[in-house]
A and B are shown apart, each in its own frame.
Chain A
Amino acid sequence: MASIASKASSHLAEASALVACLILISATPADAHTGTGVAGGLKSGVLHPVLGLDHLLAMLAVGIWGAQMGGRTVWTLPVTFPIVMAVGGVMGMMDLPLPNVEAGIAMSMIVLGLAIAAAWKPAEGIALLIVAAFAIFHGHAHGAELPSAADPAAYAAGFVVATGAIHVLGVGIGLVLGRILDGMLSRALGAAIALMGVYFLAT
């Protein structure tokens, strides 16, 4: 019975990921990050992922999902995300075009939220690939604002550290909630993140 439920969850998550990718391709940008604002230094860098609810929830989801899957993924997901995000950041800094950045960020909330809600535990490589793909969008949004910062080096350090701290917080939340009600609270939080992603996509 448990294995049937597990298989159903897995299929649900795969179908969700497919639907999410289709929506991503057809979505229009929300333009929340214009890349023209006046950014400062370390404080601006730290605040950018913290005050942007879309970034915050997506990165929390990375940590929660890693904790939910357990094993090496507790740290491999939060390790992969910032490194690939930095590559996306360089793309943003260089003004390399990336379509639908805001939609990509919203989709990251939907896909990661659904993965948590469904307690999907794919192979580590697949999970890393999903996280890495979405990290590009988050990095691009941060990176686009970096060259106009008063102190770009401090801004970069700030947003990388804040991103990592949110991941660690997500891992902590995932590990704590995973022990309550057989992980149902964690899954409910995932569903809420996915719903917020739908909201961001729609607006």
Chain B
Amino acid sequence: MGRILADRMTSLATALLVVGLMTWVAAPEALSFHVRSGLSLFVWSYGLGIPVVALGLAMAEAEGAALAFALAAFIVPLVMAVEYSEGFLLAHQNLLALTLKGPVAEAILSAAAGLALLSPGWLRPRALILAAALQGLMLGVAIGLYSPGDEIAHWFTRSAAFAAITAVVCCLAVLRVARGPWWTIARPILGSWLVAASVLLAALPFVPKKQPVAAPVEAPAPPADAQMHQP
């Protein structure tokens, strides 16, 4: 059963990667900026990208119903938020305000993925589904906020949502094949990194920004023949 699921996930991940690559290459010139920006959003914004990768890794251990629920919990709110972004953003103004605070949203995403990895075995499927739902919802809102807002903005939002789903499925598929006893040690360590990062990110908005101390600027030395030009 586990082997069959691993094979299916690998096939799905490969198919998603091929579709993503073809879309990147074959997008018409008028749409290519939106498509490529959407597809690469999670590469450039690692505050969003790292928790997505961690969620995919956390899903690799889930089996059967827990995996199906976790995938659905991630994909459904993400797609809803992207497809109905305007109405969604209006309906979730509190969430929007939270997302706009920058590091706080990243802190929540990191903490959710980190706790899904750190949780003990009996709690892990529940924590995973909760983290997946939270990430899907918040990423959907974040993608809406990054959207250029023009009449072809849906090319950006759909590409970004596709990239998020691809990233989760690829990480899940790779780890299902590669995991071994080493993952028992690596899983909680990775989880602790995310929780630690989330603690720092959550504190960040409340810390006054320090001005970097600039190095003293020395006046340039006058040229050796400066005296000669004096009146």
Asked if A167 is at the interface (CB within 8 A of a chain B CB), the reply is yes
Q: How far is the CA of A168 from the CA of B189 in the complex (A)?
A: 8
Closest to B200 in A: A156
Contact with B50, one of A90, A157, A167, A171 (Cβ below 8 angstroms): A157
Contact with B along A39-54 (1 / 0, CB 8 A): 1001000000000000
Q: Which residues between 172 and 206 of chain B lie within 8 Å of chain A, taking CB atoms? A: 184-186, 188-193, 195-197, 199-201, 203-204, 206
Instruction: Give the total number of A-B pairs whose CB atoms are below 8 A apart.
Output: 103
Closest to B206 in A: A94
Q: Do the beta carbons of A90 and B199 come within 8 Å of each other?
A: yes
Contact with B along A134-169 (1 / 0, CB 8 A): 000000000100111000111011001101100110
Contacts A79-B118, A171-B185 given; indicate if A156 touches B197 (C-beta within 8 A): yes
Asked if B208 is at the interface (CB within 8 A of a chain A CB), the reply is yes
Contact with B196, one of A39, A42, A86, A94 (Cβ below 8 angstroms): A86
Asked if B46 is at the interface (CB within 8 A of a chain A CB), the reply is yes
Contacts A74-B185, A75-B184 given; indicate if A156 touches B201 (C-beta within 8 A): yes
Q: Which residues of A contact B207 (CB under 8 A)?
A: 93-94, 146-147, 152
Q: Is the interface of A mostly helix, strand, loop or mixed?
A: helix
Asked if B47 is at the interface (CB within 8 A of a chain A CB), the reply is yes
Q: Which residues of A contact B211 (CB under 8 A)?
A: 148
Asked if B210 is at the interface (CB within 8 A of a chain A CB), the reply is yes
Q: Do the beta carbons of B203 and A79 come within 8 Å of each other?
A: no
**Closest-CB distance, A118 to chain B (whole angstroms):** 24
Q: How far is the CA of A35 from the CA of B96 in the complex (A)?
A: 34
Contacts A36-B213, A38-B212, A148-B210 given; indicate if A87 touches B204 (C-beta within 8 A): no
Q: How far is the CA of A46 from the CA of B185 in the complex (A)?
A: 22
Q: Which residues of B contact A74 (CB under 8 A)?
A: 185
Asked if A188 is at the interface (CB within 8 A of a chain B CB), the reply is no
Q: Do the beta carbons of B204 and A152 come within 8 Å of each other?
A: yes
Contact with A143, one of B102, B185, B192, B200 (Cβ below 8 angstroms): B200
Q: Which residues of A contact B200 (CB under 8 A)?
A: 86, 89-90, 93, 143, 146, 156, 160
Q: Do the beta carbons of B201 and A153 come within 8 Å of each other?
A: yes
Contact with A along B111-141 (1 / 0, CB 8 A): 0000000100000000000000000000000
Asked if B61 is at the interface (CB within 8 A of a chain A CB), the reply is no
Q: Which residues of A contact B213 (CB under 8 A)?
A: 36-38, 148
Q: How far is the CA of A87 from the CA of B196 in the complex (A)?
A: 8
Q: Which residues of A contact B103 (CB under 8 A)?
A: 152-153
Contact with B along A84-112 (1 / 0, CB 8 A): 01110110011000000000000000000
Can you report 6 residue pairs joining A to B where beta carbons are below 8 Å apart?
A76-B188, A81-B192, A85-B196, A89-B196, A147-B209, A154-B47
Using a CB–CB distance below 8 Å, which chain A residues touch chain B? 36-39, 42, 74-76, 78-83, 85-87, 89-90, 93-94, 143, 146-148, 152-154, 156-157, 160-161, 163-164, 167-168, 171
Using a CB–CB distance below 8 Å, which chain B residues touch chain A? 46-47, 50, 102-103, 106, 118, 184-186, 188-193, 195-197, 199-201, 203-204, 206-214
| 11 further contact pairs, Cβ within 8 A, besides A83-B192, A148-B211, A157-B47 | A75-B184, A78-B192, A86-B195, A86-B200, A89-B200, A146-B204, A147-B209, A147-B210, A154-B46, A160-B193, A160-B200
